[in-house]
């Protein structure tokens, strides 16, 4: 099967590429390298340096004719979406629409989409949050992710393309950049290994659901194999971990003695977030397999061996 992965030189996308290649699929990568890294490209996959919003994307589809599109490319920083919602929408909505139009024109059978569990649900009443919980996105980023889910459902109804949105929890692991807003695990690990002070926003009791990137890649692999599964599925652990506990676990994994500094809370930050993964277990046969302590250890080991802090060396996904 030929799988086209958008954002395949990025953090999650490169692990998805690894998973697809290991499963024996023919893989095509589309990435504009705005946040992805050329060093993550696997020579067994064909690479096109193209933005998902570019008219040139149609030329890639005309040549490659993929069976499946796995859409990982996105603007992922919530704060930036608040500061510049037009930029967020241009990439996440208009770029995705350009991609979906190519899927329609060139007969793609299956689209798998990287959505966001925390962002589309917003401040949820039920935690862990199931897929049928009301969606109340509190940021332009969350709105853009949810909007594309609606477009996917529309394309399935209009054109018969089987679509599945995977609503990720907070994904962490090797290759995640410590140089942006997103990715508190990478940010903390980078600072601990460099002997720099880590800053916890607010009291540090805000919780998130941390899922290892290898497990996320495995969920994408199952989504390709289970082509009849459509709709939206959570990809997380269902376990809440607060920021203070996360820092302490990372400090132990790094083997350093350090204390964080508490800064002011981020305006509008969600207090609690965890998503219920049981439906993915029932429908995809997928469950997270990497415990948080093990995943943090693997992340720290990778960042230490990489030596650059940006997580660019290659590591096989786990799970």
Catalytic residue ranges: 141
d(CA 49, CA 47): 7
Rounded to whole angstroms, how far apart are CA atoms 12 and 153? 23
Token duo for residue 213: 């990137």
């Amino acid at each position: 099967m030929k799988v086209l992965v958008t954002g395949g030189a990025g953090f999650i996308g490169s692990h998805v590429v690894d998973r697809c290649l290991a499963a024996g699929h023919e893989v095509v990568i589309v990435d504009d390298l705005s946040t992805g890294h050329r060093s993550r490209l696997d020579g067994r996959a064909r690479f096109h340096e193209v933005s998902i919003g570019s008219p040139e994307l149609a030329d890639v589809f005309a040549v490659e004719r993929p069976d499946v599109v796995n859409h990982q490319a996105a603007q992922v920083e919530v704060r930036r979406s608040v500061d510049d919602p037009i930029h967020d929408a241009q990439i996440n909505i208009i770029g995705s629409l350009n991609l979906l139009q190519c899927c329609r024109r060139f007969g793609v059978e299956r689209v798998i989409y990287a959505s966001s569990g925390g962002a589309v649900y917003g401040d949820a009443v039920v935690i862990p949050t199931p897929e049928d919980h009301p969606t109340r996105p509190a940021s332009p980023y969350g709105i853009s992710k949810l909007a594309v889910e609606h477009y996917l459902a529309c394309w399935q109804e209009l054109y018969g393309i089987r679509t599945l949105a995977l609503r990720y929890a907070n994904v962490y692991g090797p290759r995640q950049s410590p140089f942006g807003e997103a990715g508190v695990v990478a940010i903390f690990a980078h600072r601990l290994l460099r002997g720099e002070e880590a800053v916890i926003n607010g009291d540090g009791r805000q919780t998130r659901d941390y899922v290892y990137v290898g497990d996320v890649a495995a969920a994408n692999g199952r989504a390709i194999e289970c082509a009849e599964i459509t709709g939206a599925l959570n990809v997380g652990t269902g376990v809440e971990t607060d920021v203070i506990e996360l820092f302490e676990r990372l400090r132990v994994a790094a083997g350093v003695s350090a204390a964080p500094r508490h800064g002011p809370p981020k305006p509008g930050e969600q207090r609690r977030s965890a998503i219920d993964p049981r439906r993915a277990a029932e429908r995809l046969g997928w469950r997270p397999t990497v415990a948080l302590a093990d995943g943090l250890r693997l992340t720290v080991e990778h960042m230490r061996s990489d030596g650059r802090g940006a997580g660019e060396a290659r590591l096989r996904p786990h799970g």
